[in-house]
Structure 1
Amino acid sequence: MYVVASSVMCPDVIVVGAGPAGLSAAHVLSENGVDFRLFSREQVPGIDKCCGGFVPARMMSEFGIHPFEGCYAINSVRMKFPGMDPVRVDFDFPIGYDVARYRLGTFLLERVGRNKEFVSLETEVSNVVIDNSGCHVTIETPNGRDTEDAEILIDCSGANPVSIRHGYVRGRIPNSEMGYGRQYILERGPNTDEYDNVIDFFYGHEYSPGGYAWLFPRNDIAVIGTGGLVSRVRDDETPLDTYLHRFMDHVVIGEQLRGSHVVSKEAALMPLAGIVTPSFSNRVMLAGDAAGHCSPVSGEGIYYSMVGGACAGEVASLAVDESNFSEKSLIRYEKLWRSRMGSDLKWGAWLQHRLLDGGSSSLGSSLLRSEKYQRIVAEMLIGERSVRSAIIACAPGYLRAKIGL
């Protein structure tokens, strides 16, 4: 646990949130020698976060991260589409790792290095005021209320970010573009086989209200969940728990979970809006879920949050060096993250709308039965292939299926 009185009297940057975005920003700021403070309400980074925990291999590669304690290698993707049996796509290499969010958070905190002393946990930002003189935050600590000032605020405080709640940057993402997920944490029973190294995606109205159900295993723990857009979840008469039990009752999932028991239940919001702008204003940048940095197709947000946080850290470092904290200076942030991941978010939103309007069956059953196109879809879901590339690769097969060739 880190609850530290920093030696930095007035840091250049305040980071709110110790998720992948916040800790990625802190890592970049630390590397660039920028004075910062990071505040997080959690006692351990990620301990309270509802998350499947899949870390794509491309995140590990792009950020120079090797498997760490608690990483469970995944080598296969299993998918079920309406009217079809589950299909499994195997890979010759780890496509990613399932890991508990507190283990990921602890690792990313250590990655900040010696400057992790400027990270204050169990410290919640309760108020934000931004004016021409700087950013002023009120913090609630175990020892009482305090204040902190800085030149720039990087808000990584989740899908309902504190800066937006206090009237800065933009309005809240609407329920028609915000996802809601419900998941169970299961523990493997004694004298049962280890979980297989496969992640599951089950599509169709039998398993979710317009989204999909998932199963992510990690050692002796499995995470199963389902969900959809908030607006659809609210309008649907079937409780999410009913969808989850249908999912668990499927013969393939039931075999994987045989002997397991539920140890906890949780739920969370996730932005599924695609590109959300603006992501900055005078002295403020949003990153991670706060900025909508989450795949509209798969709901995977760890990779996108890491990219968004790193971009915010880079631009904040430049702004501090130039002593320019205006919108004209911080616009570089939005341009940077859009150049690095904007295509996935844009085309992911397009594909999501297409699937919601017609269901996964609208892609054509003959296309989805093809091993070639099943692999393309699997590669897209795990981040081994961009969404745009997957759409282009599937287009010929889709057209052939539609005209009956």
Structure 2
Amino acid sequence: MGYDVFVVGGGPSGAIAAEDLARAGRRVAMLDRAGRIKPCGGAIPPRAIRDFQIDGGMLVAKITTARMISPTGRQVDIPIENGYVGMVDREHFDEYLRKRADEAGAERLTGTFLRIERDKDGTQVVWRDKASGEERRSATRLVIGADGARSAVARAEVPGGDRIPYVIAYHEIIKAPPASANYDPKRCDVIYDGRISPDFYGWIFPHGDNASVGMGTEVDGVDLKQATAALRESAGLAGCETIRKEGAPIPLKPLDRWDNGRDVVLAGDAAGVVAPSSGEGIYYAMVGGRVAATAAQAMLASGRVRDLKLARKMFMKEHGTVFRVLRSMQDAYYKSDERRERFVSLCHDVDVQKLTFEAYMNKKLVSARPLAHLKIGVKNMAHLLRLVSPSWV
């Protein structure tokens, strides 16, 4: 007996898709390579905890302040009012989600995706079993490709899936130092400095007993390990014990198409749903898994392959505007240290601070204060046109 849906990938997007479909009574397989921990700052907003009923015990820290650091070392501390940023450790969080899918009825398979084959009897996923090394074939009606930024499913099956833009992210998990002026276990530091990253940013994110220190870039030839070492040195973290080192691509633009018009739909990083500018991906990956499951359910019920397009349509309807705004911000301010200096200066504005984190926590642009938006827009244009100098208070 085959499956209704075969999910390739057991990260947040694949696990949520498998769980949703299993709870709906579908026969589901979830194939995961196992043993890999994705490099990730680990931040999730309160909305993710609400929407996906995340056990509060999975949070290793609750961040209440974000510190923006400019190329000249200027600092802006932004309080996160009426909320927090939750931090998770991907080593444990992803497995937690996979176990939920398993408990809901999805069959967990451990191995590597090889290809999709089709014949008169239908669609088969060909994969290699990790334990035996043998090649296996699993019949299925639909495939959800949730296998990451360099998705083998996307490359083989979906137009444009082999040309997705991405940054390379690298981080080191270190033993957290005692609290000090340089390190606060309830504060995320975001470093906008061309010496750390010429086109993105560096970060120091507390994870309870540990911390994630890293950076990302699209620029070829940047030594990510050297840049991270420089970041650790400047932050007084060079002497902290290093627990592990990880690197991976992070996509920064949703694909124009998420399905192959037949029997495949993409989810999460495979579809490119990581927020530009911030690089936030966990929440959007989970949403991507949910809309992929919704589209799969619709197609299985109706028999219409066009229903697979619902995944991208639903996601972009709710989050497309935020992605476009963040892309514009990245294009405007990440080009040079002079622009980065202006961006951090702009973050001094109280309205910028409030609207930014209200939007982050609730995952939608805030429209309740039109005068604040107008004020921010004017200041933004003044900085971009160099009509004002970066100001510090």
TM (norm. structure 2) is 0.86
Q: Structure 2 vs 1, CA of residues 344 and 129 (structure 1 numbering), >3 Å: closer, same or farther?
A: farther
Counterparts of 1:178 and 1:210 in 2: how far apart (Å)?
Answer: 12
The C-alpha deviation readout for 1:209-230, integer Å capped at 9, x for no partner, is 211001111111111001111x
Divergent runs of 4+, >6 A:
191-194, 387-393
Inter-partner Cα distance in structure 1 for 2:228 and 2:144: 36
Give distance in 1, aligned partners of 2:155 and 2:382. Answer: 49
Shift of 1:258: 7.8
Does 1:246 pair with 2:234?
Answer: no
Structure 1 residues 42 and 366: CA distance shift in structure 2, 3 A: closer
Q: Does structure 1 residue 56 correspond to structure 2 residue 31?
A: no
Is residue 15 from structure 1 mapped to residue 15 from structure 2 by the alignment?
Answer: no
Distance 1:38 1:209, change over 3 A: same
CA distance in 2, matches of 1:130, 1:93: 52
Please give the alpha-carbon distance, in whole angstroms, between the structure 2 residues aligned to 1:82 and 1:378: 23
The TM-score normalised by the length of structure 1 is 0.84
CA separation in 2, counterparts of 1:366 and 1:168? 42
CA distance in 1, matches of 2:361, 2:136: 42
Alignment of 1:363-382 (within 5 A): 363=342, 367-377=346-356, 382=360
Residue type of the alignment partner of 2:91: Y
Please give the residue correspondences for 1:352-367 in structure 2 after superposition, counting only pairs within 5 Å.
352-357=330-335, 360-361=339-340, 363=342, 367=346
The reply on whether 1:315 has 2:298 as its aligned counterpart is no
Answer yes or no: is 1:180 the counterpart of 2:160: no
User: Which of 20, 34, 37 is the aligned partner of 1:28?
Assistant: 20
Q: Contact 1:130 / 1:283 at 8 angstroms: preserved in 2?
A: no
RMSD, aligned α-carbons: 2.8
| Number of aligned positions between the proteins | 377
Change (3 A) 1:267 1:366: closer
Deviates more, 1:163-172 or 1:358-367: 358-367
Whether the 8 Å CA contact 1:163–1:169 is kept in 2: the answer is no
2:81/2:354 contact within 8 Å kept = no
SS of match in other structure, 1:333: helix
Partner of 1:80: 69
Q: C-alpha separation between the residues in 2 aligned to 1:127 and 1:341?
A: 31
Secondary structure of the 1:112 match is helix
Q: Counterparts of 1:168 and 1:364 in 2: how far apart (Å)?
A: 37
> 1:59-109 deviations in whole A, cap 9, x for unaligned?
112223241245321111111123351221123454222111122112212
SS in 1 for 2:2: coil
Cα 1:218/1:60, change in 2 over 3 Å: same
Q: Can you list the C-alpha shifts for 1:314-362, whole angstroms capped at 9, x where unaligned?
A: 11111111233x2x22122221111122222222222222223455447
User: Is the alpha carbon distance of 1:129 and 1:351 closer, same or farther for their aligned partners in structure 2, counting shifts above 3 Å?
Assistant: farther
Among 39, 51, 54, the alignment partner of 2:31 is 39
In 2, the alpha carbon distance for the partners of 1:134 and 1:329 equals 19
**CA offsets 1:197-242 (integer angstroms, 9 cap, x no match):** 111111020221211001111111111001111xx1x144xx2223
Q: Does 1:264 align with 2:258?
A: no
Match of 2:151 in 1: 161
- Asked if structure 2 preserves the Cα contact closer than 8 Å seen for 1:212 and 1:226, the reply is yes
Instruction: Give the alignment of 1:169-318 within 5 angstroms.
Output: 169-174=159-164, 177-188=165-176, 196-229=185-218, 232=219, 234-236=220-222, 239-250=223-234, 253-254=235-236, 257=237, 260-273=240-253, 275-281=254-260, 282-318=262-298
1:338 counterpart residue number: 316
Give % identity.
25
- For residues 4-56 of structure 1, the C-alpha deviation after alignment (integer angstroms, 9 at most, x for no partner) is xxxxx21111100011100111121022111111111115xxx4222221122
Does 64-73 or 212-221 show the bigger shift? 64-73
The one-letter code matched in structure 1 to 2:324 is: K
The structural deviation recorded for 1:267 is: 0.7
Distance 2:198 2:80 in 1: 30
Q: Distance in 2 between matches of 1:222 and 1:132?
A: 52
Paired letter, 2:376: C
Q: Cα distance, 1:133 vs. partner?
A: 5.0
Gap runs ≥5 in structure 1: 1-8
Q: Deviations over 1:143-193 (max 9, x none)?
A: 32210011111000001112233354434235xx3110111110136x877
